[in-house]
């Protein structure tokens, strides 16, 4: 029997171990969690602590706990833990040994070999130190794998042809960006830039200093002077940083964190995402400079990059994805869990070394963006406000389950109500997207314009969408639940098509007329024109289909209330950084190909719902047809789009009926 080879991501903040089973990579749980904190400590009785126990002890005993040891790998130093001294390799070996034991327990067999990942810019001494750590842990390191290569393997385990990737890896303590090329299954790093002393830890330090400075201004007490208080504050800002990746506001609260003149002091500060992003903007700008340097060294332009992949927990910060998309002209991929991506790629490489065949990583994602209709007020007084602005809250390709929130504000003084109109789609104009539903928030405080509302969306694996709107100043909350939100397009499309067919079948001569006219049915006759329906559904400045059945019920909503004018009920999106609204983009016109694009989007949404239930042969056929359809849409070949839609609709009809 061949030896088991595992893949290990030995990270600065967290570490993971993964294995390929039945052709699919999976991460092995350690103490019930796939992520092991890269923290080592000694208990007061001398017992070794690794992972969560060590991280929990850090708050109470930071002098007996070590974090971020990866930053010291390759250095000729010793690190104190209590009254003992350890080399960085020894501490890393403790983490590797814990991962090894977890893998052996999960697999029920000894684990003696591993593929271990390192940053692409690690020098020889750092790579050798990693090998030594593996040997100390009882592991033969069969391959040292560059982290960007591991990430690319996760998304494309068996690339055909030539593909180019840009991997942006921002972890807890290190940053690197690499440009890779994959040709016939062989990956090569073309260029790499980074900073071994830049990562989430530095964001935490900036955040900690901002909170500590404000606390000192209020109470004349410096929380950084006491190790225990500083450790508690660090834990608080770490949790706040994570919360701000998904939500617009968060609070840092720590009771009895200090005392003054015998009086206990409590910490309670609220921060917005914009304030946090302003703090870290100089560091993020440094990473963007590295992105350009990596492209320049690889002698490539942004247009030549096929995929942009995000790796590392710190890439969850929305600002990073936004800036990368602006710079590179394409959205960055984050479908695979950014903390697990490298470990999964290491497992793929381990399987390749062992001679196994490997399939792609399967991830549940949302196929379309979800957001609300809002009012965008341009900076120039010569432009009209855009009443049809679509503001995404959960963006396309977000892994499920997902929870996101954004802050909006009222546009009129003493505005009593707002309408939350929920849409799904990718256009910046809601008239080109699909309405999921709407509800009213009434009884708002009588305050000047700019009253903030936090709109939150929670989307589950089964497609249930929960939308809530909370008035920040008063806590007034309204929320709704939409069942099977992701499949809503398909259901509405099917119902409309059924009604159309029933009407046609009611005419006894329809088939004869079709034969006489030589006008056979096409996919456009079966699929309703969503674009025309949406434009008629939302007249400029008018009421929105008041007579239609509301697709979901609103908690605590009063019925038969008159709707206010659109200028009063459309929430205004608030800029995350500056607090100002962005200039209104030119609303898209009904350009050539819009009808074909709408048909293609509807069919692709249906494919996303049906594909996993299909056989391997049918999946291959679907992949071929969807690839052809996407290529035709990208090249704006509308006749080919129509043909591809017809072919794909025929296959979907067969699969739905089988």
DSSP state of 161: S
What amino acid positions are annotated as catalytic residues?
9, 70, 147, 169
Nearest-Å Rg of the Cα atoms of the chain is 28
| Helix/strand/coil for 396 | coil
| Helix/strand/coil for 259 | strand
Residue entry with tokens 């710190």: 314
What are phi and psi for residue 287, nearest 5 degrees? Answer: -65, -35
Tokens representing 515? Answer: 């034969």
401: preceding bond cis by omega (within 30 degrees): yes
d(CA 98, CA 30): 8
| Helix/strand/coil for 614 | coil
Q: Report whether 582 contacts 574 (CB < 8 A).
A: no
Pairing of strands 5-10, 113-118: parallel
H or E segment to which residue 289 belongs: helix 273-298
The upper half-sphere exposure of residue 336, i.e. CA atoms within 13 Å in the direction of its Cβ, equals 25
d(CA 172, CA 202): 8
d(CA 170, CA 118): 13
Beta bridge partners of 175: 170, 195
Tokens representing 232? Answer: 């508690």
d(CA 153, CA 25): 11
Q: Report whether 34 contacts 54 (CB < 8 A).
A: no
């Amino acid at each position: 029997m061949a030896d088991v080879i595992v893949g290990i991501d030995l990270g600065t903040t967290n570490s993971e171990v993964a294995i390929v089973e039945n052709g699919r990579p999976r991460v092995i749980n350690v103490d019930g969690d796939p992520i092991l904190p890269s923290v080592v400590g000694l208990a007061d009785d001398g017992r070794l602590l690794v992972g969560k126990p060590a991280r929990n002890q850090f708050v109470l005993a930071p002098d007996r706990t070590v974090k971020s040891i990866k930053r010291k790998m390759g250095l000729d130093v010793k690190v104190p833990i209590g009254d003992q001294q350890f080399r960085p390799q020894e501490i890393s070996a403790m983490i590797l040994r814990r991962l090894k034991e977890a893998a052996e327990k999960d697999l029920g067999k000894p684990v003696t070999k591993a593929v271990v990942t390192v940053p692409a810019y690690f020098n020889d001494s750092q790579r050798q130190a990693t090998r030594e750590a593996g040997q100390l842990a009882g592991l033969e390191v069969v391959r040292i794998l560059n982290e960007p290569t591991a990430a690319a393997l996760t998304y494309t385990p068996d690339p055909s042809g030539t593909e180019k990737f840009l991997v942006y890896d921002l972890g807890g303590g290190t940053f690197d960006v690499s440009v890779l090329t994959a040709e016939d299954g062989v990956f090569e790093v073309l260029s790499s830039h980074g900073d071994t002393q830049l990562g989430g830890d530095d964001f935490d330090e900036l955040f900690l200093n901002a909170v500590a400075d404000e606390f000192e201004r209020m109470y004349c007490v410096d929380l950084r002077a006491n190790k225990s208080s500083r450790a508690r504050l660090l834990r608080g800002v770490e949790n706040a940083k994570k919360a701000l990746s998904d939500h617009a506001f968060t609070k840092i609260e720590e009771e009895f964190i200090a005392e003054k003149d015998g009086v206990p002091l409590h910490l309670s500060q609220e921060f917005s995402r914009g304030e946090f992003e302003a703090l870290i903007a100089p560091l993020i700008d440094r990473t963007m400079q590295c992105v350009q340097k990596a492209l320049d060294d690889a002698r490539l332009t942004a247009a030549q990059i096929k995929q942009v992949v995000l790796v590392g927990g710190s890439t969850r910060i929305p600002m990073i994805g936004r800036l990368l998309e602006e710079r590179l002209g394409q959205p960055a991929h984050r479908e695979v869990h950014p903390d697990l991506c490298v470990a999964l790629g290491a497992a793929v490489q381990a399987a390749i070394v062992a001679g196994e065949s490997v399939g792609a990583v399967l991830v549940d994602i949302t196929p379309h963006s979800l957001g609300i209709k809002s009012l965008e007020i341009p900076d120039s007084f010569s432009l009209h406000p855009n009443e049809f602005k679509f503001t995404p809250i959960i963006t396309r390709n977000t892994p499920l389950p997902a929870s996101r929130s954004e802050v909006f504000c009222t546009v009129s003084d003493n505005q009593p109500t707002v309408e939350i109109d929920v849409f799904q789609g990718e256009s910046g104009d809601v008239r080109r997207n699909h309405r999921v539903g709407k509800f009213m928030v009434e009884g708002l405080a009588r305050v000047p314009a700019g009253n903030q509302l936090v709109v939150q969306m929670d989307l589950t694996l089964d497609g249930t969408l929960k939308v809530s709107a909370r008035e920040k100043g008063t806590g007034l909350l309204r929320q709704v639940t939409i069942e099977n939100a992701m499949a809503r397009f398909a259901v509405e499309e099917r119902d409309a098509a059924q009604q159309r067919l029933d009407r046609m079948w009611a005419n006894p001569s329809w088939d004869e007329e079709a034969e006489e006219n030589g006008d056979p049915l096409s996919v456009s006759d079966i699929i309703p024109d969503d674009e025309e329906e949406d434009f008629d559904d939302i007249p400029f400045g008018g009421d929105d289909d008041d007579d239609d059945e509301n697709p979901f019920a609103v908690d605590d909503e009063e019925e038969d209330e008159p709707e206010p004018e659109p200028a009063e009920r459309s929430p205004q999106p608030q800029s995350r950084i500056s607090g100002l609204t962005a200039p209104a983009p030119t609303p898209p016109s009904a350009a050539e190909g819009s009808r074909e694009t709408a048909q293609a989007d509807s069919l692709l949404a249906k494919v996303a719902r049906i594909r996993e239930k299909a056989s391997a042969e049918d999946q291959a056929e679907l992949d071929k047809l969807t690839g052809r359809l996407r290529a035709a849409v990208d090249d704006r070949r509308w006749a080919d789009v129509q043909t591809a839609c017809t072919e794909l609709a025929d296959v979907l009809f067969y699969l739905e009926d089988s």
